[in-house]
């Protein structure tokens, strides 16, 4: 078993969200996701609700654990497209409780432009501003679909070199799936990214918004970490390098 205790009040609503929706989503997905076993009540020892789940064996999906990154990319694309096909009746919408994942990226416009100014000594501000403007130039026009909300390396589990499970659905909601595509730049190389894009089948505008989500996260992380945690800052600089390395063939 595994136990998940929210570390702050803002994460507490994620417990109820997972308790309610994970059993609905699990039978309709091609890879394992957490299965809630019980919900803990707030107490003097821990002031917010908490969850107990079945244990899912696996290791973090870093490059060393993955046998073939292109196969991994297409498997993950298959997971996401299946997630998007699940019915949305009664599902929670994107908003403040999901930190706007699945929502409108423009909520972070002011923050992104401020940070771009702060990073002018190391960033190509005109180029990144152009990429950011492209990301904000469109919105999701179709019906809202299920969004995982935190498609990060630490939330993907690998067994025997292959994708085995997707965990941490605390930000799941329905809305624009662009935020879930950030993994294209945070984990994949160019060939895997192209395979992921082909398999996922999204239009150019959704891909541009996804790139904007990645750019925003990288920029705020670099600004917050440089001078304090250069390892963290460098990891997010690599994300930007992947964004800038795209030669346009993916668009």
Task: Give pLDDT tens digits for 31-74.
Answer: 999 999 999 899 998 999 989 999 999 999 998 999 999 999 99
The DSSP line for 93-150 is BSSGGGTTTTS-GGGGHHHHHHHHHHTTTTS-HHHHHHHHHHHHT----S--EEE-S-
- Name the β-bridge partners of 40: 50
Residues forming a β-bridge with 175: 145
Q: What would the mean pLDDT of 155-160 be, rounded to a whole number?
A: 98
pLDDT of 172 higher than 90: yes
pLDDT at 245: 87
E strands along the chain, which residues? 2-4, 36-40, 50-53, 59-60, 145-147, 156-159, 162-166, 173-175
Q: Where are the domains of the chain?
A: 58-245
Mean pLDDT within 122-134: 96
Q: Is residue 132 within 8 Å of 112, Cβ to Cβ? A: yes
What are 204-219's pLDDT values in tens digits? 999 999 999 999 999 9
Which of helix, strand or coil describes residue 156? strand
Query: Per-residue pLDDT for 163 more than 70?
Result: yes
| pLDDT, mean of residues 80-108 | 96
Query: Confidence band (pLDDT; 50, 70, 90) for 249?
Result: very low
Question: How high is the pLDDT of residue 193?
Answer: 97
Calculate mean pLDDT across residues 96-101: 94
Length of the chain measured in residues: 251
Which CATH number is 58-245 given?
3.90.1200.10
**What are the distances in angstroms from CA 54 to CA 25, 72, 80, 167, 183?**
15, 24, 22, 11, 26
- Whole-angstrom distance, CA of residue 96 vs CA of residue 10: 9
Radius of gyration of the chain (CA): 18
Helix or strand run (H / E) with residue 233: helix 230-245
């Amino acid at each position: 078993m595994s136990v998940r205790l929210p570390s702050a009040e803002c994460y507490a609503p994620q417990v109820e969200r997972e308790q309610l929706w994970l059993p609905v989503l699990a039978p309709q997905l091609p890879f394992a996701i957490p299965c809630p076993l019980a919900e803990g009540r707030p107490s003097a020892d821990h002031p917010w609700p908490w969850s107990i789940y079945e244990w899912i064996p696996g290791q973090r999906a870093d490059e060393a654990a993955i046998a073939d990154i292109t196969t991994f990319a297409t498997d993950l694309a298959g997971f996401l497209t299946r997630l998007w096909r699940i019915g949305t009746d009664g599902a929670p919408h994107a908003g403040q409780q999901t930190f706007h994942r699945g929502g409108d990226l423009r909520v972070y416009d002011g923050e992104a432009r401020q940070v771009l100014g702060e990073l002018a000594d190391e960033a190509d501000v005109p180029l990144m501003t152009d990429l950011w403007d492209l990301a904000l130039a469109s919105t999701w026009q179709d019906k809202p679909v299920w969004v995982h909300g935190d498609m990060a390396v630490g939330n993907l589990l690998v067994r025997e070199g292959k994708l085995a499970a997707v965990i941490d659905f605390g930000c799941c909601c329905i809305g624009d799936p662009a935020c879930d595509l950030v993994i294209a730049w945070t984990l994949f190389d160019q060939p895997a990214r192209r395979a992921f894009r082909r398999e996922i089948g999204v239009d150019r505008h959704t891909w541009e918004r996804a790139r904007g989500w990645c750019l925003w996260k990288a920029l705020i992380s670099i600004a917050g970490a440089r001078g304090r945690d250069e390892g963290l800052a460098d990891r997010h600089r690599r994300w930007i390098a992947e964004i800038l390395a795209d030669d346009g063939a993916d668009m």
